[in-house]
């Protein structure tokens, strides 16, 4: 069985991906994919992982989990999604690292599914917006408390991905930038679901609709309806063209008001992030979904 682990990051998804998959569960079932309801496994997985850390994994842990969440019929691909798989929001930047517990958590998943094929899917985000959003989901009120003395300009997503690849070289890793998601949404969904580009699903342009004006939405839908059979590359060109003209600036713009953060620091973090994405693309065993 293939086991898909969609582990976040926090503040990149808001469960849009798993909800889209759930909305297409009947279609995906035809391809052997099981998309269980997150409430049915998130706490259970958390409890199993905590037990494994404290006293080791029980021999029947996999069977307990699969039996609890599987639907009728054969399961070739089990899709599990939770931004908390690698830790809570306040654990996401411990020790100046992004998700320092990622390798350990993946090791526990490896123990839980010893004979299955695990795949990791993960969205990254510009630290200039990721860290302030993360702060809002922690008990901390100040960025210094969250960072605990770490310098955000020294943190790299590529370092996290490299750690994962070094510790688990047999686990395929797929990464994408949260900022690109509206442009690459259909590919992200299909890669996670394990379906071909020709398979149609509901909600292919749902994220795009969130950042496009109402007139733009109407024109885009009309255009797509009159041009069936476009390739993924062609669709992205159309999306880019429509966003250039009909993007909803209020939906796209993010206001950053972090005490002590200057415009220069935000610009520097953004530049570092762009370079970091390039480093991730160079890592072996990593698929980077880009527009």
The pLDDT assigned to 120 comes to 98
Identify whether 127 is part of a domain: yes
Those residues of the chain that have pLDDT short of 70 are 71-74
The pLDDT assigned to 58 comes to 82
The pLDDT assigned to 74 comes to 61
The three-class DSSP label of residue 48 is: helix
The pLDDT assigned to 129 comes to 96
The pLDDT assigned to 260 comes to 85
CATH of the domain at 100: 3.40.50
The pLDDT assigned to 144 comes to 92
The pLDDT assigned to 72 comes to 58
For residue 84, give its domain range.
2-201+272-289
Identify whether 95 is part of a domain: yes
The pLDDT assigned to 256 comes to 82
DSSP alpha helix (H) spans, the chain = 16-23, 25-29, 42-55, 61-69, 102-112, 127-135, 143-147, 157-167, 181-193, 206-210, 214-226, 232-246, 249-252, 263-281
The pLDDT assigned to 75 comes to 80
The pLDDT assigned to 68 comes to 83
The pLDDT assigned to 245 comes to 94
Identify whether 229 is part of a domain: no
The pLDDT assigned to 88 comes to 94
Identify whether 213 is part of a domain: no
Identify whether 220 is part of a domain: no
The three-class DSSP label of residue 173 is: strand
Identify whether 31 is part of a domain: yes
| This prediction's pTM | 0.94
């Amino acid at each position: 069985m293939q086991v898909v682990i969609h582990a976040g990051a926090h503040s990149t998804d808001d469960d849009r991906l798993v909800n889209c998959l759930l909305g297409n569960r009947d279609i995906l079932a035809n391809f052997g994919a099981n998309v269980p309801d997150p409430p049915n496994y998130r706490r259970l997985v958390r409890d199993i992982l905590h037990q494994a850390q404290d006293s080791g994994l029980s021999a029947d842990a996999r069977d307990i989990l699969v039996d609890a969440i599987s639907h009728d019929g054969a399961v070739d691909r089990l899709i599990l999604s939770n931004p908390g798989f690698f830790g809570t929001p306040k654990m996401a930047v411990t020790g100046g690292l992004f998700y320092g517990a990622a390798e350990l958590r993946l090791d526990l998943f490896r123990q839980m599914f010893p004979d299955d094929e695990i795949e990791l899917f993960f969205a990254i985000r510009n630290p200039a917006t990721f860290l302030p959003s993360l702060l809002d989901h922690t008990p901390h009120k100040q960025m210094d408390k969250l960072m605990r003395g770490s310098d955000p300009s020294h943190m790299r997503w590529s370092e996290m991905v490299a750690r994962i690849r070094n510790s688990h070289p047999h686990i395929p890793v797929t990464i994408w930038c949260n900022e690109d998601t509206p442009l690459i949404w259909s590919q992200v969904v299909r890669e996670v679901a394990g379906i071909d580009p020709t398979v149609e699903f509901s909600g292919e342009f749902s994220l795009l609709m969130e950042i496009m004006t109402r007139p733009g939405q109407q024109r885009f839908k009309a255009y797509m309806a009159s041009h069936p059979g476009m390739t993924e590359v062609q669709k992205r060109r159309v999306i880019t063209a429509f966003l250039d003209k009909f993007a909803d600036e209020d939906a796209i713009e993010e206001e950053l008001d972090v005490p002590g953060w200057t415009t220069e620091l935000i610009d520097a973090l953004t530049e570092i992030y762009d370079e970091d994405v390039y480093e991730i693309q160079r890592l072996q065993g990593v698929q980077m979904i880009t527009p």
